[in-house]
Structure formats: structure tokens, C-alpha cells
Structure 1
């Protein structure tokens, strides 16, 4: 199991052998094969105040998104069987050989599990939960559709790859911010790239002279500020990483029931793809976190177990 015994950077992570957890009543145990990394993982591991807000204390596990195979089923569980492939979220417990999930739980309390569809490999399944739910929740706020031009800030990041594709599938035109080196990756997702930074509103105006109708800021507040300058009303703006007066923030915990299953179905049918930027064996967890925390990776980072 991966353990955080002191708050800090990737150097605070260490591998520890601990007794395998056992599934109790209403629980399943999953033999984890892959764990996807998210910014929230290292936010919590690096800062005591952030960890406290999520109800975590030391020592702690690490990582939230997981995929694997059910290898124990507790009394009273009928929705899952031994040998079935599953994926889901278990807050700060995912990077481990085994994780115990409460079948009636949530990502934050007890963990959650979903059946992995045929056609979705475990590495991909391990990237879906946090980013997919967050993207679905953000788009539910602004509700893009045919006739909309949606500006997505941080479009090449882990949440961005879902947000862009889901918005395109909804019929919207998508303009995505990123670095100059991310342009090809954004086009591959279906977005029209625009570089972030000073002068963003002018560059977007030149790209979309007919105007922008909605915006999702997946990084901070710069995209929201540019969208306001372009005349987008606050009711069609949202953020995931910052609070802005007058704007409804999005939280993956509020994703609509069934949103994650729908995302997995879209992946299984080839309508949504998840670019995996890099994979690491668990022994190289520090390098994996360093890459993910750099915030310049295009796609998802996955740890193999």
C-alpha cells in the first residue's frame, strides 16, 4: 500500500506492507490493477489544512481513482460477484493492492464501485471517476448544446479531456485554452485551441467573432474573467478550482446519478476517448506524482499495481 506519513511533496510518499483489508457485511474487496491520479490527490497529501477539509489525517493512503477485480464479497452484497471487473473512487486509498468498498458508500465515505463495461481496459477505467464526474457536473451548470460556443479553460488537463468531448457530443462548438504545445492534442479532442494568458479575451474574440455563450474554467479564474469580458452571463459560467462571486461552482460529488455509467458507456462504444499521457509502476509513484503535479501533462497519469 502507498502511505503518506507526513505532509509534503512526492518525497513524502512511501511504500509500506500492511495486512490486506477484509470485506465485511455490505462491502466488496477489490484487487486493484490500476489507479488514476488527480490534482486533488497531491493537494491533500501536501497540505494539512486541505487534508483536514476532506476528513483525512496521518498516516493516510494515496490516490482516489481505481480499477480492478472483485476478489471478496461480504455478506448481503448482491450487486457484485467475485471475478467481476469494477472501477470507482475511494478517497486517498486507491493506490494499494486491495481496497475495500462499501457498496452503499460514496467516494468520500466508504468508496464507490461501478461495473467496468466490456471494451474499457483497466487503465482507462481507472481515469474515469473524479475527472468524469467533475466534467459532468461542470457541464450540467452551463448546459451546452447546439448553437453554443463553449470556452473551456485548461482543456488539455485531466478534467478537460472529458469536458471538451462531452460538450462536443452535446452539439456545442468548443474553444479550449492551453499552451502552444497542446494545440494538436486539443484539436484531437474536438476543440479549437487558443493559448491562455494575457490577451485571452482578444484571441477568443478573433476566433469566435459571433461570440461565446458559455464557459467552464477548469484551472483558476482567468477563463471566467475573459468570458465575462466577452459578455457571457454569470449563469452560464462555472469553475471547479476557485470560488468567484456570482458564479455557481461545480463539484464532481454533485454529478447526476448515472453520469459516470454514461461516460463509461461512451468510452466502451468509442465515442469518447481518454488520452493516457503516461503509466508508471507503483514503485515509481513519486515520479508519477511529480509529472501529474506539474500541471502540463496532456491527458491522464496512471499507476499500475
Structure 2
């Protein structure tokens, strides 16, 4: 059994809440987590509820029209926050069991590295993370972490396998030819296309 399979075995039967499960990253996280055996709940917009439920989530709550804290029952082993706003951080921490894991895609690392440069920004980001980890552990008994992208052959192979078996489906809203890359960027920047954009080569 490889290390990725071992991680999946550890996740089996755990309760996971995905904040922002209707977005492209959140929707992928829902599918990966369901495939690994997690019991998944998610917050999303009203237009995404059916899609998130069809992907295997046990509950999908419209964040814009419901009191999320009343709509979602129980505590979770882990929360994945794909939004990263102060209010979603508080929400996620409140939904976790003591000893649970809060994971955010929007840590300060990138912003601090852009502002101060890598040499200074990364140490500052590390200090900020350590402070948050200490605060959340002593206040809530919760492990706080940033999630970083790391591409590797094993992970890509797992993505391929899940895609081929129909367990991972990434919705594409629009396809552009490679010569239309400027138009694709403008459409995304102006939020004319909510989902993923694909650039095609000849």
C-alpha cells in the first residue's frame, strides 16, 4: 500500500466540512474526500447544491440563505476552508471537534512573499502560522494549517484513476483556443465565467 492509499485509509469514516464546496477547488475536494471514504458536508451557493450532493456529499447548505450554524448538525473531524475569510475561519473552528484539523487554502504565505519578497516573506509567514497554530491549539484544541499545492507523480496518478472511473469530474464552463488566451483571462477577471476555463491546442 503506497503512502497516498495509507492517507486515504486514515480518512475513512471521518467527518469533513468543506467551506466553499461549490467552487472549482472545493468541488474537487468534495469528490476526493468522498472517494477516500469521508462523510462530507459542504457550504455552497444555491446553484451548486444539486451538483455537490450528486458528487456524494451528505449535506450541502446554501451559505447565502441559511443560518449555517443551525443548518449543519454536529462536530467535524476536519474543516477545509477554500474561502479563507475571517468569518469562515471562525465558522470552521466552531464546527470542529477538539483535536480536529482546520485547513485553509488562503494562508498569508503568498501575500507576504509578494509584499516582502521570498527571503523575508517566507520567514514572516512561518511566524504568523506558528502563532495561529499556538492560538488555535490553546483556545480550541485544534490543529491549524495552511494547505500548499505540491504536484507529484503519485498524486497525478490518483487523479487520473479517479477521473477514469468517473469519481472525479471537473466542470468546464468554457473552452478557448490557445490564441484566445487574452480573451480567456479577461473573461475570468471580469467574472463572466464562474467555472473552469480550458485552453485548447491544435
- Fold-level similarity (TM above 0.5): yes
Counterpart contact for 2:79–2:101, Cα < 8 Å: yes
The offset of 1:233, in angstroms, is 4.3
Alignment-derived partner of residue 144 in structure 1: 11
After superposition, the C-alpha distances for 1:200-228 in whole angstroms (9 at most, x for unaligned) are 7x5244332x3222100112134332121
Q: What is the root-mean-square deviation in Å for CA atoms of aligned residues?
A: 2.9
Question: Is it true that 1:220 corresponds to 2:84 in the alignment?
Answer: yes
In 2, Cα distance between the equivalents of 1:258 and 1:280? 29
Q: Is residue 250 from structure 1 mapped to residue 144 from structure 2 by the alignment?
A: no
Name the structure 2 match of 1:49: none
More helix by share: 2
Greater Rg, structure 1 or structure 2?
1
SS at match of 1:223: helix
Q: 1:193 aligns with which of 50, 60, 68?
A: 60
Give TM-score, length-normalised by structure 2. Answer: 0.66
SS in structure 2 opposite 1:283? helix
Residues 124-154 of structure 1: per-residue CA shift (max 9 Å, x gap): xxxxxxxxxxxx9xxx6xx6321x2211122
2:159 paired residue number: 263
1:1-305 matched pairs, under 5 angstroms: 144-146=11-13, 148-191=14-57, 192-196=59-63, 202-208=67-73, 210-221=74-85, 222-233=87-98, 235-243=100-108, 245-246=132-133, 247-253=144-150, 258-293=154-189, 294=191, 297-298=194-195, 300-305=196-201
Quick check: 1:155–1:176 contact (8 Å CA) kept in 2? yes
Q: 1:181 to 1:290 in 2, by over 3 A?
A: farther
Tell me the SS of whatever aligns to 2:188: helix
The count of corresponding residues between Structure 1 and Structure 2 is 159
**C-alpha displacement at 1:194, in angstroms?**
1.5
Q: Which runs of 4+ in 1 moved over 4 A?
A: none
Q: TM-score, normalised by structure 1?
A: 0.45
Q: 2:111 — aligned with what?
A: none
Shift of 1:264: 0.8
Unaligned runs of 5+ residues in structure 1 are 1-135
Cα distance in 2 between the residues matched to 1:176 and 1:152: 5
- CA distance in 1: counterparts of 2:192 and 2:99, whole angstroms: 27
Deviations 1:147-189 (A, max 9, x none): x221112212222222111111112121222222222222232
